[in-house]
Amino acid sequence: MARPQEVPKIDCSPEEWEMRVDLAAAFRLVDLYGWSDLLATHLSARVPGPEDHFLINPFGLMFDEITASSLVKVDQEGNILSPTDYTINPAGFVIHGAIHMARPDVACVIHTHTRAGTGVATQKNGLLPITQHAMAVIAQTGYHDYQGIATDVAERESIVRDLGDNNVLILRNHGLLTVGRTAGEAFMWMYRAERACYMQLSFQQSGAELNYIPEDVQRTTIERNKFNNSEKGYRPIGKVEWPALRRKLDRLDPSYKD
């Protein structure tokens, strides 16, 4: 069932307000699931329209404080376009700006530094095809080598190249990044990637012998996931899960809509 149209609480279009509410919901969910890193990571969303503006978190608010109206709108040069008492994280602008400029199909970008995600990103072989969850994520994953704190705009080209047309990017020695055509899609790719990394670390820490999945089964499973998670498949990412997640937030704390 479609949600009723949200009424903007700041001076913006109804379309921008709807995106603000979805992005604020994503921030609250990232915090709820334990993926935040105080002020250190960032989420962003493209503002609907031709201007190539995007929304990002104000640098100084915890994720559980962020609301739709507190999000900061910036242009491709990083100029702040909406009233705020805060700045933005320069590394966030470099990473997110690169993707929004290069991938017009991407509406939302999520970046995290979780224990599981960074634990796998630090491993030479990255995410291993040892679980069903992992193979769903591997089907959509690229890798980006660590180049230091991402404040140099020169890194943008390699970020975009390494992401390609994937929805998941493992930032080596750093963390995870996911993208989507909606906030729900980006969030669900992060959820799946985080779960796959957590499962891998759990197995590695157990010291048990690996039950190896044959390579032909790996290939078949990865290809099936590419189809199943597409618009033609039975579980396009985020379409079913996102309304349920929004309802969960509404029960817990609907203030993200402020």
- What is the rounded CA–CA span in Å between residue 177 and residue 117? 9
Give the bridge partners for 80, in sequence order.
Answer: 74
CA 68 to chain centre: 17
pTM attached to this predicted model: 0.93
By three-state DSSP, how is residue 184 classified?
helix
Q: Which are the contacts of 195, defined by CB distance < 8 A and separation ≥ 6? A: 133
Closest-CA residue to 63 (of 78, 81, 41): 41
Closest-CA residue to 30 (of 105, 136, 92, 114): 114
**CB count, 10 Å around CB of 30?**
25
Q: Which are the contacts of 95, defined by CB distance < 8 A and separation ≥ 6? A: 42, 109, 111, 150, 159, 177
- Residue 136: Cβ-neighbour burial (10 angstroms; 0-12, 13-18, 19+): buried
- Asked whether 72 and 88 are in contact (CB, 8 A), the reply is yes
- What is the rounded CA–CA span in Å between residue 74 and residue 183? 18
- Asked whether 137 and 79 are in contact (CB, 8 A), the reply is no
List the pLDDT tens digit at each of the 258 positions of the chain.
Answer: 445 566 677 889 999 999 999 999 999 999 999 999 999 899 999 999 888 899 999 999 999 999 999 999 999 888 999 999 999 988 888 888 899 999 999 999 999 999 999 999 999 999 999 999 999 999 999 999 999 876 777 888 999 999 999 999 999 999 999 999 999 999 999 999 999 999 999 999 999 999 999 999 999 998 888 877 777 776 778 888 999 999 999 999 999 999
**In sequence order, what DSSP letters do the residues of 81-125 get, joined into one string?**
-S--S-B--HHHHHHHHHHHHH-TT--EEEEE--HHHHHHHTSTT
pLDDT score of 51: 87
pLDDT score of 91: 81
- Asked whether 167 and 108 are in contact (CB, 8 A), the reply is no
Q: Are strands 168-171 and 141-144 parallel, antiparallel or unpaired?
A: parallel
Q: What are phi and psi of 86, to 5 degrees?
A: -120, 165
Structure tokens at 56: 């990002």
Domains, the chain, with CATH or none: 14-250 (3.40.225.10)
pLDDT score of 17: 96
Cα–Cα distance list, 235 to 232, 238, 239, 241 (Å): 9, 8, 8, 10
